[in-house]
Chain A
Amino acid sequence: MEDKKLSNVDLESTDYDPAQVGNLDRRLEAGKKDAVFFHVIGVVATVIATIWMYAFGTGDPAEMKYFLGMPMWISGAIVIYLVMFAAGMIWLVKWEEFPLTARFKKNKESEKEGGNKT
C-alpha cells in the first residue's frame, strides 16, 4: 500500500509546495504544538514577570507592599513563574501518548490484519 502511494509522486522533485504536501504524520505535528505552547508561555511569563518586577520594585523599600512575607514585586513574580510552571505541567500530563516508532498507522493496520510489525 505504501509503495502504491509513493509511486504516484516524484520523490526526487524539489518543485513542490511544502504547505500542500499531505499525509502528514500527526505525531510529528503534535510536537510542533508542544514547541509553540511551551515557548510562548515561557516568553509571555518572562515578559509579564519582568514588567511586574520593575513596575512595583523600583521604589523606596520602606514604601513597598508585602505579599506572602516578601515585597510584592518578588512574590508576584514568583507566582507568575509558578503559574507558567503549572500550565506547562498540566499540558505535559495531558500529552496524548503514542508509540515513538518510525511508523504508526502502518503498525496498527498490520496488527489488525495479523501481519508483521514493520
Chain B
Amino acid sequence: MSFDLGGFSITASTSQVMLIIFAIYSVVIVGFGFYIKYQSRKGGKDGLASFLTGGGGLGAFAIAMIAATNSMAGGTMVAAPGLGYSVGFTAALVYYAGFLTAAYGLGSVGRKVAILRDRTGAVTFQQLLGLRFQSKKVVGALAITGAFGLTFFAVGQITSGAKVFAAVTGSNSYYLGILLTIVITVIYTVSGGIKSMAKVACIQGVIMLIATFSIIGVLIANNVEQYGSVQATMEYLGTAFPGAIQADTGFSFWNAMGTALFAGVGLGAVPHALSVTMTYNNHKKLKQGVLISCCVFTLIQGIMCFTGPLTRAINPGLETADYTTIFNATNLLPSWMGGIIFCGIFAAIQSSLAGLAMAGASMLAKDFVVDCWKPNTPPKTQSTINTAFVLGIALVATLIALRPSELTQYMINFALAALAAAWYFPVLVGMYWKKATAKGMLASIIGGFASYVLFYFMSSVIPSTKAWWATALGGVHAFLPAWLISLVLLVAVSYATQRDRIKLGYFQVFFCEDYDEKYAKIDTLKD
C-alpha cells in the first residue's frame, strides 16, 4: 500500500519505519525535559531565573545549538526548499546573509549583555533595556510587539509540522500533527526551561546536520547520474524550467534586496535570537558558541535552501512544493534515513517553537506582568505565571493553526517582518548609542511596527495599492521602508528629547567602568 502525495508516493512500510524512529526521538527529548526538571528541583534551582537562563552557565556547544536551532525553523527544512523548488535559486540566495545570524545578535550584544547581567542581575534582555531607559512603556512596547510577532510566527511552525506529519502518515491527520508538534514541544519546554532546550537543541542540531548532508549528498548523486554533472543539471533546468536559473523569477530586485536584508540581517535582533544572551557567563564559551552557531547555520541553511531546484531537476511533478524535503527523504533515501530526516524536520520546527514560546512567555510574564505591573510577585508565583504564558501562547497559536486560511497566512508572513522592523534598531542602537532616549525608543518600536503593517497591506493585500506598489516602488519588500522609518524615528526623536535623558547614575551602569550599585537595581522602573 502507498500514499499518493501528488507527484510522488510513500509506501506504508516507509511511513511506519519513519514513525517508529520519530516516536523514539520524541520519547528521548520529552524524557530529557523531565530529567532536567528533576535535577533542577534536587539542586534547589527551580525558580524563574534558572528556567530562563539556566543559571547563566551553559557550555559553548549548547549556546551554539540554541542560537542556531532557534534561528532555523520549519522554513529551513520545509518552506525554503519548497520555495526554491517553485521559484528557483534566488529563493535560496536571499537567505544567505543569515550566515552570520548568530553574530548579528549574540555576537553584537552578547559581551555587553553578559557584563550588564552581572551588574544588574537581569534575567531578560528587556529588563536591561527597561533599566537603561527607565521606562515601563519601552518594556511594554517591546513585550507586546514581541509576543504578537512570536505567537503568529509560532502558528507558521505548527502548521508546517502538522502538514509534514499528515503527509508522512498519509492519513491527512493534520490535527493529530498539530497535537504532536505542540504537545511534545510544550512538555520539554515547560518541564526543563532553557536547560532542557539546550540539551534537546544539541540533539536536534546533530539530527539536522545528518539530515542536511544526507539530502544534498543523494540529490547531487542522483542529478550527476541522470545528467552527467552539476553543470549539466543546471543547463537542463535552463531549458526545461528557465525561471529556475533566472534571478528575477519570483522576486523583483527591490523585493529580493528587502527580503535578504530582513531574512538575513534583520532577524539577528529578534526576541528568540536574543534570549540566548542570558545563558552564559564566560567569554570563551560565548566566542566558541557564536563561531559554532554560525558554521552550523551556514551549513544547514545554505545547503537546505539549495535543495529545491536540484529536486525539481529530478522530479518536476511535485504538486505541493513544500513536500520537497519529504520527497527527498522518502523516495531517494532508505526508510531509516527518511525517519532521521523526518526527525530533523520536526527538530527544526520544535526547537524554534520552544524558543518562541520561551521568549514570548518571558516577555509577557516577567517583563510585562511582573516588572511593569506586579513587582512584588514571589518567585514561585513568577514561575507559575511564566508557565501559564507558555501554555497560553501555545494554545493561541494552536487555535489559529487549526483553521489555516489565506488570512492566517497573511498574519504569519507579516508577523515576523513586523517584529524585525520593531526590534532591530531599538535593540542594537538602544544598547550602544549614548544619546538614545526612551521617547526615541518608543517612537522607533511603535513606528517600525505600525509602518510595516501599513506597508504590508498596501503592498500585498489591497489590490489597488498592490498594483501601484509593484510598479511605482519596484515591489520593494515592505520591511525595507519600515526598517528605515524605525531608524529615522529613533534618531530624530532621541535628538529632539535630549532633555529627557536618564540620570547619570543609570548611564554609568551601561557605559562606564565605575558605577554606583544603587543604580544597577532592576526594580527601579518609572512610568
Contacts and interface: CB of A to CB of B under 8 A. Distances in A.
A95 B287 contact: yes
Contact of A31 (B111, B253, B281): B111
Interface stretch (B6-14, B99-107, B179-187, B464-472): B99-107
A70 B256 contact: no
A61 B508 CA distance: 59
Contacts of A58: 246-248
Best-surrounded residue of B114, B513, B519 (most CB of chain A within 10 A):
B513
A114 B57 CA distance: 27
Contacts of B521: none
B521 to A, nearest CB: 13
B296 to A, nearest CB: 12
Given A47-B257, A53-B256, A95-B287, A11 B108 contact: no
B284 interface: yes
Given A21-B434, A21-B512, A62 B238 contact: yes
Interface string A47-85: 101100110111111101010011101100110011011
Most chain A CB within a 10 A radius of its CB, from B500, B508, B510: B508
A69 B230 contact: yes
Contacts of B282: 100
A18 B248 CA distance: 47
Contacts, number: 218
Contact of A30 (B111, B257, B514): B111
A71 B513 contact: no
A19 B434 contact: yes
Contact of B507 (A18, A30, A57): A18
Contacts of A28: 111-112, 115, 510-511
A10 interface: yes
A102 B295 CA distance: 30
A113 interface: no
Given A21-B508, A46-B260, A98-B283, A85 B104 contact: no
A34 B80 CA distance: 29
Interface stretch (B89-97, B314-322, B373-381): B89-97
B242 A73 contact: no
By CB atoms of chain A within 10 A, which of B239, B434, B504 has the most?
Answer: B504
Interface residues of B, number: 73
Interface string B490-527: 00000000011111110110111111100110000000
A88 B294 contact: yes
Given A38-B100, A49-B260, A61-B242, A27 B511 contact: no
Contacts of A50: 253, 256-257, 260
Contact of A57 (B112, B237, B248): B248
Max chain B Cβ within 10 angstroms of own Cβ: one of A9, A60, A70, A98: A70
Contact of A74 (B89, B257, B503, B514): B89
A95 B108 CA distance: 12
A11 B253 contact: no
A59 to B, nearest CB: 8
B248 A81 contact: no
B292 to A, nearest CB: 11
Contacts of B58: none
A94 B90 CA distance: 33
Contacts of A116: none
A33 to B, nearest CB: 10
Contacts of A57: 90, 245-248
A61 B245 contact: yes
B265 interface: yes
Given A78-B93, A82-B99, 6 more contacts: A11-B508, A18-B435, A19-B435, A31-B432, A38-B104, A100-B114
Interface of B: 89-90, 93, 96-97, 99-100, 103-104, 107-112, 114-115, 118-119, 229-231, 234, 237-239, 242, 245-248, 253, 256-257, 260-261, 264-265, 268, 281-284, 286-287, 290-291, 294-295, 298, 428, 431-432, 434-435, 499-505, 507-508, 510-516, 519-520
13 contacts: A14-B501, A14-B502, A28-B111, A42-B100, A42-B268, A53-B93, A54-B247, A56-B247, A61-B246, A71-B238, A81-B99, A100-B283, A106-B514
